[in-house]
Amino acid sequence: MEAADETKFAYTPVVGEFTDDQNLWEKGRDQQQLSDRRDGSVYRMHPRVRLAVDVALAAGRPLLLRGEPGSGKSSLAPYLARNLGARYFEEVVAASTRVEDFLWQFDTVRKLSDAQARQPGDEPLDDANYVTPGILWRAFDPDGEFGSKDKPDAVVLIDEIDKADPDVPNGLLVPLGAGQFRVPARDDPIVIPDGRRVVVVITTNEERQLPPAFLRRCVVAYMPEPTEESLTAIARLHVGGPGGGDESEHDELFGVLAGRLLELRGQMTKRDRPPSVAEYLDAVRACMELDVDPSIPSSAWKAIEEFTLRKPTDVT
């Protein structure tokens, strides 16, 4: 993890200014979409992560975000998509995920259904009719079928790639590196049309090492460690929205919880999963909703701390 040096870097950014969206934030709040929201309304971007975004955009490489669970890796992608005015696609990787899942799927059930309706002597079924696009196909959208006429650019989130077998990142090298891939029963490859920007954000919790060839083709950024200042600023943004300003009536609560989280992180052994930003926001919301003051010892605070910040790692 990076030291949390928040000094800005000096360069010409590819994206001029990232902004938060008050209306979208309020809409999410009204719909109770407070935790793990993926609407991209607000995000506090560390200068180094901001630089990584610009480097990825400049080099045309996927952005690989490494860091602890809950440190804000996945939520960067929708924020990026909204700020770029781009379409947004995401796929959460599991152990059973195959490379093809990102590219295309074959609808065997429909083909079987059609086959049963056929009579001997009918024209053979065309496999091209049974191929359905995966997220990279939709993002590349060479035929303009998936919204690229209105929004040409796209942001793709490939979440937790370390859960997949090593063949998956290796199999993504060409689609991500060359911006094209082939599909069965289709003559033309799926290619990113000229002038279209497809930004791929990949996250890893580093349960498995990624292939070196894959790492080489990514812009790799570590999510910075939280500080009391960064946690408080994040809480202000998430609780008060973009219009909440630089101060909040809850600053004392935010500060106490941030201090407690950092204290707990310092006590963790290597095998423990340290609480991060997501756990911090859970604790903030719980304390606010239940009107619990963490600076006063109480059974309620003890329970909230247990449920949000001190999650055991050996749960089976």
Partner 1 sequence: MTLAAIWIRDLRVAMNTLRPADDRTLGAIADLLGFERAAAAPPPPPPEPEQLPPDETRPGDAGAESAPVQASDLPVTVQDLSAIAPRQAAGGTDAATKPLVLQVATPGVPPSPVPLLSPLAGRFIAQELVVSSRFGPEPDLIRLVDDLARYEIPQPLPLQERRTLARGVQVLVDDAEGMEPFTADQQRMVEVVRRLAGDALVEVRHIYEVPDPADPVQPWQAPPLGVPVLALTDLGLAGRVERGAAELVAGWQLIADTLAARGSSLVALLPHPPERWPAALVACMDLVPWDRSTTTVRARRARSKGPGQ
- Min. distance of Cβ 194 from partner 1 in angstroms? 17
Pairing relationship of beta strands 131-133 and 190-191 according to DSSP bridges: unpaired
Residue (12 or 269) nearer to partner 1, CB: 12
- Min. distance of Cβ 143 from partner 1 in angstroms? 23
Residues that bind partner 1 (CB under 8 A): 9-14, 48, 51-52, 54-55, 58-61, 95-96, 98, 106, 108-109, 111-112, 114-115, 118, 120, 124-125, 162, 165-167, 170-171, 173-174, 177-178, 207-209, 211-213, 215-217, 219-221
- Min. distance of Cβ 237 from partner 1 in angstroms? 24
Residue (114 or 228) nearer to partner 1, CB: 114
Rounded CA-CA distance 125/187 in Å is 16
Residue (27 or 118) nearer to partner 1, CB: 118
- Min. distance of Cβ 202 from partner 1 in angstroms? 14
Question: Rounded to 5 degrees, what are φ and ψ at 19?
Answer: -130, 150
CB atoms within 10 A of CB 90: 16
**Side-chain half-sphere of 20: how many Cα atoms within 13 Å?**
17
Q: Which two tokens stand for residue 257?
A: 């919880």
Residue (115 or 128) nearer to partner 1, CB: 115
- Min. distance of Cβ 6 from partner 1 in angstroms? 13
Q: Which two tokens stand for residue 80?
A: 């990026």
Rounded CA-CA distance 8/203 in Å is 23
- Min. distance of Cβ 233 from partner 1 in angstroms? 21
Residue (20 or 68) nearer to partner 1, CB: 68
Which residue matches tokens 């490494």?
66
Largest interatomic CA distance in the chain? 81
Rounded CA-CA distance 274/269 in Å is 9
Residue (200 or 309) nearer to partner 1, CB: 200
Rounded CA-CA distance 140/130 in Å is 19
Residue (15 or 290) nearer to partner 1, CB: 15
Rounded CA-CA distance 314/316 in Å is 6
SS3 16: coil
Phi-psi bin for 51: left (phi > 0), alpha (psi -120 to 50), beta?
A: alpha
